[in-house]
A = this chain, B = another copy of it.
């Protein structure tokens, strides 16, 4: 399971700015970081007049622009995706995901409290990983860090979420990741490797992606 941490707080409390500080700190420590921004009002990322916009306007469900160093995708969807759905579909190659928003999902939270902008917590104590604030020290029940103490925050994130090695197997059923105990991981991995190894032309697979749709 890829760890997902949500940065929450009131409008203009500095969520994007905190992400801008945490991402390079984690990258510097050797981790691959993904981010998810929640935009409940919709957005406009594709530029009018560009070819990709024209493809999308013509009715394509999914449009990709692919280049040797960057890939962009715009996809029409029928519903707001959950963080687990997004993680399973698009983030197989990162070590950790930071989200901007998503205060209603049950993921560990970093909540920003800033003088004059926010005074009370949005998050419950249970889901609160720590508070990032311009006046730390006043929160007896939860750890708090100064908004500038990026190294301290990254230490805690690293210790809590990045010390264990990455999973070798991921199983997603109807959009939800299924947690597997060690025995189930072993059975499924070995059975799948066994099935696949008997196929013509398959020698030493490094990555196997298997999708099954039932009518």
For chain A, which range describes its interface: under 10, 10 to 19, 20 to 34, or 35 or more residues?
35 or more
Residues of B near A50 (CB, < 8 A) are 45
Which one, B19, B65, B166, B202, contacts A43 given CB within 8 A? Answer: B65
Does A188 lie at the interface of the complex (its beta carbon under 8 Å from any beta carbon of B)?
Answer: yes
On A, residues with C-beta under 8 Å from B are 16, 19-21, 23-24, 27, 32-43, 45-47, 50-52, 54-55, 57-81, 86, 88, 90-94, 98, 100, 166, 168-175, 178, 180, 184, 187-189, 191-193, 195-196, 199, 201-202, 204-215
Asked whether A66 lies within 8 Å of B81 as measured between CB atoms, the reply is: yes
Asked whether B24 lies within 8 Å of A37 as measured between CB atoms, the reply is: no
Asked whether B195 lies within 8 Å of A188 as measured between CB atoms, the reply is: yes
Asked whether B62 lies within 8 Å of A90 as measured between CB atoms, the reply is: yes
Chain copies in the assembled complex: 2
CA of A146 to CA of B169 in the docked complex: distance in angstroms?
50
Asked whether A207 lies within 8 Å of B59 as measured between CB atoms, the reply is: no
CA of A52 to CA of B91 in the docked complex: distance in angstroms?
16
- Interface of A, secondary structure class, is mixed
Q: Which residue of B lies closest to A51 (CB)?
A: B16
Asked whether B202 lies within 8 Å of A173 as measured between CB atoms, the reply is: yes
Given A173-B196, A178-B199, A215-B168, A55–B76 Cβ distance below 8 Å? no
CA of A50 to CA of B39 in the docked complex: distance in angstroms?
12
A153 to chain B, nearest CB (A): 14
Q: Which residue of B lies closest to A208 (CB)?
A: B212
A193 to chain B, nearest CB (A): 7
Which one, B24, B39, B81, B214, contacts A168 given CB within 8 A? Answer: B214
CA of A71 to CA of B172 in the docked complex: distance in angstroms?
20
Residues of B near A100 (CB, < 8 A) are 51, 55
Asked whether A171 lies within 8 Å of B191 as measured between CB atoms, the reply is: no
